[in-house]
Amino acid sequence: MPMSEPQTLIDKLWSAHEITRREDGAALLWVDRHYVHEGSFHGFSQMQARGRTVAEPSLTFGVADHYVPTRGRDRKIPNPEIAAMVCNLEKNAADNHISLFGLHDPRQGIVHVVGPEQGLTLPGLLIVCGDSHTSTHGAFGAYAFGIGASEVAHVLMTQTIWQKKPKTMRVTVDGVAAPGIAAKDIALAIIARVHADGAQGHAIEFAGSAIRALSMEGRLTLCNLSIEAGARCGMVAPDATTFAYLKGRPYAPKGAAFEQAVEAWTKLTSDPRAAFDRDVTLDAGGIAPIVTWGTTPDDALPIDATVPDPARESDPVRAQYLRDALDYMGIAPGKKLTEIAVDRVFIGSCTNSRIEDLRAAAAVLAGRVSKVPGLVSPGSTLVKRQAEEEGLDKVFRDAGLEWAESGCSMCVGINGDLVPSGERCASTTNRNFRGRQGPGARTHLMSPAMVAAAAVAGHLADVRPLLAGRKA
């Protein structure tokens, strides 16, 4: 793109990392940060089979998070396969001189929580990880996306990756969100608007006054969920909120170097009149607390709505989808969302497990008792420690919920934290696919405060009356 033409933030990040381009349009991009976890062993195995080593060990960081148990950390991992994966990660990190936030490291946590809180995730970087929700890191104005096992191996061996440039989409959310409306509600409203594949082939830039009003935690939630709209990644241009969050982080620049970095980061914005391939706008003031009812994240509705009735759908394909989704979820057509009982709740995952998320849930649960069992898994050991210093763990325990260690936990049923088959879970996670939280599990996505409201009510519920007179 000629430098005289206005550029989007996406254009600027792409051009800053492009090394060369093939005839088919794919570009070789430099990778600034490569995050790996215990599930990345396939990439290491491919590298080792070729007799290669990690090209840039100082730019690769390991985290144990996906498969690790969140209970009994003081004991040996009971599952031998998971134990072997954790040991394999430790060996790969040691053999290749990679920094590792291992299972017993005081900085351990979910990779998409650890990267930002350690100051490893910075504006302007290109970041990859063998996990689809790497889009989370785009909240800092980084170009961040998930990659597959063969790509993990390529990055390990070369510190580069081949990619075709995505189209650009700007999602502008202006206005002031009402009390009780969280970033999760905004994200689900966007997904419901554009649908689960509406942003396919695009990189999303989130803009507007309502986005600027979000904390870094909120922006991380928003970018985390961008791929649930089909996007390749999501990002927010860095600003004073970003810089304040990063200042003093362990791996962030220090002193004069930080001030110089801020000067450069400030330029990471879309130019006026920069053209996007698609523009979408929403009014934050019109967004209500949202929950999902079906088996994809775009099956999302305001809490005061009713689930769809296939009999009223004119499109036979859509009607069949509705019947199948409602059958799996065990919900009668036309049922009020607030009449849907839940069996358990979960607060955690790379979407909503940061300190702000825990505070929001605790604000609802304080002095109240959950009518159903539930699990709270903080996003990192540092978040867990801070929550305990603030007394949030006591709020959760007093409400009857289990306070666990950090990890991906009940977001994905691969680590022992499962929703039993047929049970319904109000969850802060990112996907409500069939069996995502365990075989036969039924998942309803919502914000941490809304999960707390469901816990107190025993059914899907509007959090706003429960927040009256309380600090959310």
* DSSP structure class, residue 404: -
Q: State how far the Cα of 64 lies from the Cα of 110, in Å rounded to an integer.
A: 7
Amino acid identity at 325 = A
The CATH superfamily of 9-165+239-263 is Aconitase, domain 3 (3.30.499.10)
pTM here is: 0.97
Residue 191 Ramachandran class (φ > 0 left, ψ -120 to 50 alpha, else beta): alpha
CB-CB neighbours of 94 under 10 Å: 11
Q: List all residues 6 or more positions away from 405 whose beta carbon is below 8 Å from its beta carbon.
A: 69, 70, 71, 73, 377, 378, 381, 384
Residue 435 Ramachandran class (φ > 0 left, ψ -120 to 50 alpha, else beta): left
CB-CB neighbours of 74 under 10 Å: 7
Same fold, 9-165+239-263 and 290-467: yes
Residue 468: the pLDDT is 85
Architecture of domain 290-467: 2-Layer Sandwich (3.30)
Dihedrals φ, ψ of 347, to 5°? -120, 115
Within 13 Å and on the Cβ side, how many CA atoms surround 28?
A: 10
Q: With a cut of 70, which residues of the chain have pLDDT below it?
A: 1-3, 471-472
Q: State how far the Cα of 238 lies from the Cα of 346, in Å rounded to an integer.
A: 31
Residue 181: the pLDDT is 97
Domain coordinates in residue numbering, the chain: 9-165+239-263, 167-237+270-286, 290-467
Amino acid identity at 251 = Y
**160-163: strand order across its sheet:** 18-21, 27-30, 160-163
Angle between helices 183-194 and 448-457 (to 10 degrees): 100
Q: State how far the Cα of 411 lies from the Cα of 428, in Å rounded to an integer.
A: 8
Percentage of residues in the chain having pLDDT higher than 90: 96
CATH 3.40.1060.10 fits 167-237+270-286, yes or no: yes
Residue 74: the pLDDT is 84
Q: State how far the Cα of 318 lies from the Cα of 324, in Å rounded to an integer.
A: 10
